[in-house]
Amino acid sequence: MYVKEAEFHELDTICAIGFDSWNNGLSDEKYLDECRGSEKYQAGTWYVLMENDDILSSLIVYHGRFNLKEGYFGIGSVATPYKLRGKGYASHLINLVKAELFLNHNAKAIFLHSDIGHQFYNRLGFVSVGGSDCMYISHDSSKFDGVLPTYF
Ligand SMILES: CC(C)(COP(=O)(O)OP(=O)(O)OC[C@H]1O[C@@H](n2cnc3c(N)ncnc32)[C@H](O)[C@@H]1OP(=O)(O)O)[C@@H](O)C(=O)NCCC(=O)NCCS
């Protein structure tokens, strides 16, 4: 099992993983069209957890937008294929991407907006900012008291 930046040809598969959560009532085809044209998705870097040629989990990383200041990164659209959930893949991917951002991208802190119970992200070291759904983890365990990034 290993993590890598997603390749262009993998983007349709990645989008399809999130279909059950983010389709907003669209058909498969319309949802995929929306993903392909998404400015937001094009602005980030997708990471995937792989085994052989299979994508086990995926997420997107942002920086330089959504009010994320220098050294601040955002993780979004964390998703695992429906049949592969509950096996630790998303947790493993988040931990590997966290390590990559702190070690190789000089990240000061990483943010996310949790659409699910905070305990999932608490277990991975993220804490809620002021009780909101915006959660973060810093490289030096410092408390965050700046302006929150906008939703991504
Ligand atoms: C959330 C998600 C990414 C977890 O992926 P995963 O590979 O199954 O994650 P892990 O195996 O590492 O962890 C599983 C844990 O996720 C947590 N989890 C999953 N859905 C959750 C939810 N809606 N609320 C709170 N926790 C949740 C549970 O604690 C679960 O633990 P359990 O297996 O002991 O019940 C996956 O369920 C998914 O793709 N959901 C749809 C997309 C989504 O909601 N993404 C999160 C956006 S913030």
CATH code for the domain of 9 = 3.40.630.30
Domain annotation covers residue 91: yes
- Per-residue CA distances from 106 to 30, 70, 109, 132, 139 (Å): 38, 10, 9, 26, 9
Does the beta carbon of 19 sit less than 6 angstroms from any atom of ligand 1? Answer: no
Return the number of other C-beta atoms located less than 10 Å from residue 114's C-beta.
17
Residue 84 confidence class, pLDDT cut points 50, 70, 90: very high
Does the beta carbon of 21 sit less than 6 angstroms from any atom of ligand 1? Answer: yes
Residue 125 has what pLDDT?
A: 97
For the residues 36-64, what does the mean pLDDT come to?
96
**pLDDT above 70 coverage of the chain, percent:** 100
The average confidence (pLDDT) of the chain is 96
For the residues 93-122, what does the mean pLDDT come to?
97
For the residues 79-94, what does the mean pLDDT come to?
98
Domain that holds residue 104: 2-138
Residue 146 has what pLDDT?
A: 86
pLDDT of 81 strictly over 90? yes
Which residue's CA is minimally distant from atom 12 of ligand 1? 88
Q: Note the pLDDT tens digit of each residue in 110-147.
A: 999 999 999 999 999 999 999 999 999 999 988 887 88
β-pair type (109-113, 72-79): parallel
Decide: 48 and 84 in contact? Cβ < 8 Å.
no
Distance CA 89, CA 104 (A): 22
Domain annotation covers residue 150: no
Does the beta carbon of 115 sit less than 6 angstroms from any atom of ligand 1? Answer: yes
For the residues 11-15, what does the mean pLDDT come to?
96
Residue 98 has what pLDDT?
A: 98
In total, how many domains does the chain have?
1
Looking up tokens 């792989």, which residue turns up?
A: 50
- Of 21, 24, 108, 30, whose CA–CA distance to 59 is shortest? 21
Domain annotation covers residue 20: yes
Residue 76 has what pLDDT?
A: 97
Residue 142 has what pLDDT?
A: 84
Domain annotation covers residue 87: yes
Domain annotation covers residue 148: no
Domain annotation covers residue 104: yes
Domain annotation covers residue 147: no
